[in-house]
Amino acid sequence: MTKGMDVAQLGGFSPFNALKSTNLQQLLDKIDVRHASRGQLLFQKGDTDKCALYVLSGSVSLRDGDQVLRTIKGDTNEARNAIAPILPRQYSAEALGDVRYFSINSELLDVTLTLDQTGIYEVSDFSTELTGAEGDWMSALLRTKTFQLIPPQNIQKIFMRLNRVDYKQGHVVIRQGTKGDNFFIVRSGRCRVTRETPGNNKNIDLADLGVGSTFGEEALISNESRNATVTMLTDGILMQLGRDDFQALLNEPMIVALEPEDADEAVTQGGKWLDVRVPSEFKAFSKANATNLPLYLLRHKLNVLDRKTPYVVYCDTGRRSSAAAFILNQHGFETAVLKGGLNTCAQSRS
């Protein structure tokens, strides 16, 4: 029994009734049982939160303004289905008295159904046996801005193509200066990101990564060497996605590339140039009023950027800027990339 529900009760709702019991048990830990009092809204018309909501007890009215369209009462056939699941919400849902209901991330539910019914993997193979934050890597990933921006069918394919790799404490997962072939997701354990700098015998510690964190995309997008080393701080499990799958399923749907004249217009309309080259390149030549934040520091200096400002990211060729835009999109920034980079701008002027 979890949160007042058990597998048998959850299996009475659609589409949970189509899942294997092992996968139902995994999802049971991901549901959120809530209470609402009379007049409280479960959601409003126009909401886009990716949650499936189900009435357990009490009654909920679906409203369009002052007009009541229908009422859903707990423990009825109608209540076995999610409330107004189409996004954005077509109606508002209001509690008519004391209501008990539960919600679950709709993307997580859809991925679980896909994996369950294709027979390619058991979802339990993905879901770690650890509890608490350690057991939520899949949920954490689906809550990131990245996975909210890509098409649902891509999400399904990504989970089906991930490969599990077990690592021991101290293992070097990727090494600075080597070619990148995979994108990584931390399923359990912790990793440390370090960077070697010229003339410095000691590595610089950049960050520690935990469950749900991702790394390795910069080298895949830019087609450059790894710009940092990642080492396991503990024993752990990483899920890896190959270069081709990463490019097709994750990178391409997320990157907006602008021609030079469109990029100039975007800046004129309130955007800001973001130069992700190294400082020496920036000093030699840069866009007017641009902010310089080198790609290798980007993850760790996000606080210097304004989340309300759209950024047009550039480098010399478009490779590093595409990697930077991917990272910024992961963290909720609005970005576009200068197509072809500064080299294209120079050619257009000649």
pLDDT digits 0-9 by tens, 66-99: 899 999 999 999 999 899 888 889 999 999 999 9
Same domain, 134 and 235: yes
Q: What is the pLDDT of residue 221?
A: 80
Q: What is the pLDDT of residue 131?
A: 37
79, 109, 139 — which closes off a domain?
109
Same domain, 162 and 238: yes
The range of the structural domain enclosing residue 245 comes to 128-250
Same domain, 59 and 165: no
The verdict on residue 115 lying in a domain is no
The verdict on residue 212 lying in a domain is yes
Q: What is the pLDDT of residue 2?
A: 45
The verdict on residue 119 lying in a domain is no
Instruction: Give the number of other CB atoms < 10 A from CB of residue 87.
Output: 13
250, 275, 291 — which closes off a domain?
250
Same domain, 222 and 151: yes
Same domain, 233 and 311: no
What's 59's domain CATH number?
Answer: 2.60.120.10
Same domain, 91 and 45: yes
The verdict on residue 272 lying in a domain is yes
Say how many domains are in the chain: 3
Q: What is the pLDDT of residue 75?
A: 93
What's 262's domain CATH number?
Answer: 3.40.250.10
56, 80, 109 — which closes off a domain?
109
**Encoded amino acid at 38, one letter:** R
Same domain, 289 and 220: no
Ranges of the chain with pLDDT below 50: 1-2, 118-135, 347-350
Same domain, 227 and 278: no
Could you tell me which of 308, 318, 324, 312 has the C-alpha nearest to residue 267? Answer: 312
Same domain, 83 and 169: no
pLDDT digits 0-9 by tens, 266-321: 999 999 999 999 888 899 889 999 999 988 788 888 999 999 999 999 998 887 88
Same domain, 282 and 245: no
The verdict on residue 331 lying in a domain is yes
Same domain, 244 and 262: no
The verdict on residue 263 lying in a domain is yes
Same domain, 235 and 133: yes
The verdict on residue 301 lying in a domain is yes
The verdict on residue 123 lying in a domain is no
Q: Model pTM? A: 0.56
